[in-house]
Structure 1
């Protein structure tokens, strides 16, 4: 059977690749992280964080955003830093090691995107503006000052939109796996039944956490419809005024390197870190390189974050 593209983070992962990976990861076994929660396709021997991010109600809160309640958790003290996870089968827990490090020096606000985890789906049409306004609702609950936004894939695109629509809210951005994007790149369907074949334990977990599990397929269908029409280009990216660190795995097929290079050229105060031997989830595949880049960017005085020199290149 020839598998079509499915959504992982924001993008298209060949299910054939997932099945090959499943063989080495023993997907289908009830492999769970020690914290009692898992991320999609988590290998049996992979240790996640001891904190069940996204399902730790002791640290949980809700913000009303339009017709949906958005769930978020708060950890640590210091300058506010918002973490926006990937979409589709993305979860905050997937970014656990990153959050563990960040919360040592920042007040980290871990947000579950609309329709993901404990956040509600709502009934309004999913739009890019809605994504930004959902996050703004959470930000307003926590702080009045400009904040650091760290997003992965879908979460990184949301951070871009927040910074474009509400520049006073974004102090700087770390964007992992989010380059230029043309309509139709993320197409096809995302069926819950297909996801269950890859990682039944994860899907069961998500249904248990979701406020409306009976609407899971409805959300997946609407989500893919949104992303099939999504476009991120030069005109939009040039509206982002704050410093941006773009991070890309050199083997990323969701945000191919050429799209990351284009984004770096268009965002005025941006720099690009290419992580070797890493896929879309660079923070999982090569955490040390990813974290070193993030830490240096966060510790640098904002006045010095002027971005890389934009070098002309042959685009014929």
Structure 2
């Protein structure tokens, strides 16, 4: 499949922001939504897009303030991300879909899957936790992040953002994302017990943000959760080991999407 380019999509007005969505893959295939991580964008999935089965219609969404989406005036929260994704899919007239979500995208996907009634057929999370306690050391890591620190760590990432976003303001975006990360009440929490979709939890074994304890705790709550642990990889397992990642993700999607494809109808409007 061809990856996302930030040139072939459209921006949809949602709650005082323009949310960018781009469709790749099979235009009549089964919808598979791809949700990126914090301070990233849909193109972060391009390492695996070309290896995904051709039966899928790939729907990339840039979270508000990220990629080609404007920030708007609403505070960044996982609730807002969830509402934005639901609004995008409503405008595209997509009733049911599967999801691959990385980090913030995975946390948002957990909220989407826990909503009742659920619209998700199969769920893949990468490096995503469902809750953080107030004394979790990960919160200190998040709280210490600044725009300058991120620029130092990921200069190419910031340069891409500034070249792509229609209203770039990295000094405003980073504090908004830090506030999202550290707002513990907005994580899906115990609501993940309501997830009925088959779920694959992907984790890099050296991930310092989504620990083994986080993942095992999530797996205890989600009825149909399987763990795919990738040795020798960190938080961004997809880009660190794309071949290994796709080796576990593809069979899972094919199994659970094929099982219900004969009973589930899909409708999409053109991008």
2:22 aligned residue (61, 66, 73): 73
| 1:181 counterpart = 2:131 | yes
Q: Which residue of 2 aligns with 1:300?
A: 255
Spell out the pairing of 1:134-213 with structure 2 (5 A cutoff): 134-182=84-132, 183=134, 185-186=138-139, 187-213=142-168
The separation in 2 between residues aligned to 1:208 and 1:166, in whole angstroms, is 39
| 1:62 counterpart = 2:19 | no
| 1:246 counterpart = 2:201 | yes
| 1:287 counterpart = 2:238 | no
The separation in 1 between residues aligned to 2:188 and 2:247, in whole angstroms, is 28
Say which SS state the counterpart of residue 255 (structure 1) adopts: coil
CA offsets per residue over residues 167-202 of structure 1, 9 Å max, x none?
A: 432111111111243146333243222222334343
The TM-score normalised by the length of structure 1 is 0.73
The separation in 1 between residues aligned to 2:205 and 2:88, in whole angstroms, is 33
| 1:82 counterpart = 2:33 | yes
CA offsets per residue over residues 20-54 of structure 1, 9 Å max, x none?
A: xxxxxxxxxxxxxxxxxxxxxxxxxxxxx974x3x
Q: Which residue of 1 aligns with 2:55?
A: 105
8 Å CA contact 2:2–2:24 kept in 1: the answer is no
Say which SS state the counterpart of residue 268 (structure 1) adopts: coil
User: Which runs of 5 or more structure 1 residues have no equivalent in the other structure?
Assistant: 1-48, 306-316
The separation in 1 between residues aligned to 2:52 and 2:65, in whole angstroms, is 25
The structure that has the greater radius of gyration is 1
| 1:224 counterpart = 2:174 | no
1:257 CA drift (Å): 1.1
The TM-score normalised by the length of structure 2 is 0.85
1:292 CA drift (Å): 1.4
CA offsets per residue over residues 282-314 of structure 1, 9 Å max, x none?
A: 122222321111111111146979xxxxxxxxx
User: Which runs of 5 or more structure 2 residues have no equivalent in the other structure?
Assistant: 261-271
- Closer, same or farther: CA 166–65 of 1 in aligned 2, 3 Å: farther
- Closer, same or farther: CA 260–106 of 1 in aligned 2, 3 Å: same
Spell out the pairing of 1:116-131 with structure 2 (5 A cutoff): 116-131=66-81
1:64 CA drift (Å): 2.1
Say which SS state the counterpart of residue 51 (structure 2) adopts: helix
8 Å CA contact 2:34–2:58 kept in 1: the answer is yes
